[in-house]
Amino acid sequence: MIIRKRLATGLCALLAALSAGLAFPDGAVADETTADVPKVNLVLDVSGSMRTRDIDGGTRMAAAKQAFNEVLDATPEEVRLGIRTLGANYPGDDRRTGCKDTAQLYPVGPLDRTEAKTAVATLTPTGWTPIGPALLKAADDLDGGTGSKRIVLISDGEDTCAPLDPCEVAREIAAKGIGLTIDTLGLVPNAKMRQQLSCIAEATGGTYTSVEHTDELTDRVNQLVDRAADPVVTPVATEGADACAKAPTLKSGLYTDREEFGRQRWYRVDVEPGQELRASVSVAADRAVNPSYGVLLRAVTVHGREIVRGEAAENGRTDVISTGLRYPKAETDEEDAPAETVCLQVTNSFSVASGVKTTPGLPLELTVDVVDGPSQAGDVASFGLGRGWWLLAALVVAGFLAGLLWGWLSRWRFAVWRTN
């Protein structure tokens, strides 16, 4: 009996193993389900300068730790996240050793929030700032898979390991064609650091943001991690003109351009009757600019009449300023009515101090979306009431019937009273 039980147990185990092997040959299913997942590598500067106490009354390191804890809590389940440090382990003065000081604190993969937070809690500001070497290693950490790949670099100073220029490293990473984007955040930045981090981001199509408060750091890193989980949209490079007549005609999509300081760029969009044009523009300050600046987006007819506008102004608190507009083109009873050409004008009021380069122009990102607008037969109804007209009609009818009923009841009661 015992032998039979052991044979049965062994046979069940063998069948289970064979079933698993047939169901998942060579890990094929696992590879299929993880091949296109988005990956993010957070690269944190843990150099000695992170001890400085100038962010909300605490150290830069404390602000980074608090931000990381909140980001780890909010990371989407589908994102594979890792954490790499630079300058966290070598406290000495030997430059060669200090410039090798980068390590993977938490490997890129499924996120164990408790384990990742515990690892971050152990960090102490220590050594050098080897940004270039850290970026090379961070790119290797993200190797494999077809999903989006993003490095988020957080630093409070420029690289101390030249001649390995981190901007050149970013260009090399971009040249590999692996679809990796590097976003940079500068803690309490100076002009030199801003220039270097902007160059790194620009080389891979990423963004640069200056940060001076903990909540700003948390919000921005959360945005970037969430963006990794979104479908990747590659902007199309275009070149606006100095007049509508010369402007390129754009379809729905995302476009990038460069705009000179205090100048304007023109683009054209064709809008069919019954369609709605939605457009937005963002202009980024990728170098030191004077405070008090703005951006204006206008929709204009080919004859120069303004249709609608969107505008925004800032006083130096952010590096990116955005605005948008909407224009619904009314339907017409005419058959084969032609499309209307709408001219989009983008104007900025950025300026720089003497000595700051004004070329190339400021990075500009334009989103154009032409969609079906509300139909006059359904969404726009009689008397400008939209779909609510039927409710008003029902109330009128109900009130009329209620009045008749009340009058009939009143006459009946009066007749009964006279009879008695």
* For residue 198, pLDDT beyond 60: yes
The CA radius of gyration of the chain, in Å to the nearest whole number, is: 31
Per DSSP, what are the bridge partners of residue 43?
84, 153
Assess contact for 103 and 160: CB atoms under 8 A. no
| Of the candidate ranges 8-12, 322-326, 345-349, 364-368, the one whose mean pLDDT is the lowest | 8-12
Residue 84 pLDDT:
97
Q: 199-243, pLDDT tens digit by residue?
A: 898 888 788 888 889 998 998 898 889 888 876 567 889 999 999
pTM above 0.75, yes or no: no
Ordered structural domains, the chain, with CATH: 34-229 (3.40.50.410), 236-372 (2.60.120.380)
Question: Of 382, 310, 327, 318, whose CA–CA distance to 350 is shortest?
Answer: 318
Greater confidence (298 vs 383) lies with: 298
Least confident of 58-67, 131-140, 200-209: 200-209
Tell me, what's the pLDDT at 387?
44
Band of pLDDT at residue 9, cut at 50, 70 and 90: very low
Lowest mean pLDDT segment, chosen from 145-154, 187-196, 239-248, 314-323? 314-323
pLDDT class of 124 with cuts at 50, 70, 90: very high
Nearest CA to 321 out of 293, 344, 345, 287 is that of: 293
Least Cα distance to 298 among 334, 267, 275, 331 occurs for: 267
What is the reported pLDDT for 218?
92
- pLDDT above 60 (res 125): yes
pLDDT confidence band for 11 (50 / 70 / 90):
very low
- The secondary element (H helix, E strand) that includes residue 62 is helix 60-74
